[in-house]
Amino acid sequence: MPDSTPRVAVYLDFDNIVMSWYDRVHGRNTYSRDRQRIATPPIEPDIADRLAAATVDVGAIIDYAASFGTLVLTRAYADWSSPVNAEYRSQLVARAVDLVQLFPAAAYAKNGADIRLAVDAVEDMFRLPDLTHVVIVAGDSDYVPLAQRCKRLGRYVVGVGVAGSTAKSLAAACDQFDSYDSLPGVAAPNGAKETDAAPPSRTRRSKKTAPDPSGELLARALRLEQERTDEDWVHLSAVKNLLKRMDPSFSEKALGHKSFSDFVKAYPAVAELDESTNAVRVRLVAR
């Protein structure tokens, strides 16, 4: 039987996201004002602190893309010799992201990523006809023609960009567009975790009961599946499939659990199960 799982290609204009998130955290145009100090090694302590506060959560982006289907290819475009981008190389490689090197030059510095990314994306669509989804992580209006071309070629186009730094025309050109700020697990600009948000009537979990990385992964998978289905209760099997796409090395048995249900039950502060029917369902615990 042929595999009907959607197949996803992801393209990240990494410089765009890093700069846009820096501006989102520290204020409009701050990256431009700090650019020279950022590019001059060794980086001064105050600039290093500002960069740390504006760290991009690569995992949140990759996991979000994986919620649409199997990741067939993931590419990130940047000058990886830059100290700012070099900080991300190990975690990108750990998530099987291909790093495409762009060499800065006055003649094409601004549009280097735009052109290379667009050419690669169109080529991939013809080379891989079974691609169903294209995820473009950027905010530049220069990607509007690419999004439109992908749609004409029958692909479902998902855009991800930083709020306040994304062209409305790009969002309109996509089938679906979500702000990086809203992705599960991404820290809000004021430093508060999106996962810490809680209704006034609820009591937040104390740090003592905070989940370990496996619990955080489960929470993120649940949020993504709930957003995808727009349902509070979601099928346990769908959550497991998504979690495996997010982290192919995941194994509940390796973590000491006989079944995925047992794994979920180990995190009562994160999720609750409904086993009243044959189709077991699960939902995120409100906090």
| Residue-number span of the structural domain to which 168 is assigned | 7-182
**67 contact partners, CB below 8 Å, separation of at least 6:** 224, 225, 227, 228, 242, 245, 246
Whether 275 is covered by a domain: the verdict is yes
Q: What is the pLDDT of residue 225?
A: 95
Q: What is the pLDDT of residue 204?
A: 35
Q: 234-268 burial by CB neighbour count: b if 16+ within 10 A, else e?
A: bebeebbebbebbbeebebeeeebeebbebbebbe
Q: What is the pLDDT of residue 2?
A: 54
Distances from the Cα of 275 to the Cαs of 106, 219, 262, in angstroms? 61, 19, 12
Query: How many domains is the chain partitioned into structurally?
Result: 2
Whether 190 is covered by a domain: the verdict is no
Q: Are residues 278 and 164 in the same domain?
A: no
Q: What is the pLDDT of residue 110?
A: 54
CATH code of residue 173: 3.40.50.1010
Q: What is the pLDDT of residue 232?
A: 95
Q: What is the pLDDT of residue 250?
A: 87
Report H helices in 67-143: 83-86, 89-94, 112-127
Whether 206 is covered by a domain: the verdict is yes
Whether 187 is covered by a domain: the verdict is no
How does pLDDT run along the chain (287 residues), one tens digit per residue? 456 889 999 999 999 999 999 999 999 999 999 999 998 888 899 999 999 999 999 999 999 999 999 999 999 999 998 889 999 999 999 999 999 999 875 444 455 788 999 999 999 999 999 999 999 999 999 999 999 999 999 999 999 999 989 999 999 999 999 899 989 889 777 644 443 333 333 333 333 345 688 999 999 999 999 999 999 999 999 999 999 888 877 889 889 999 999 999 999 999 999 999 889 999 999 76
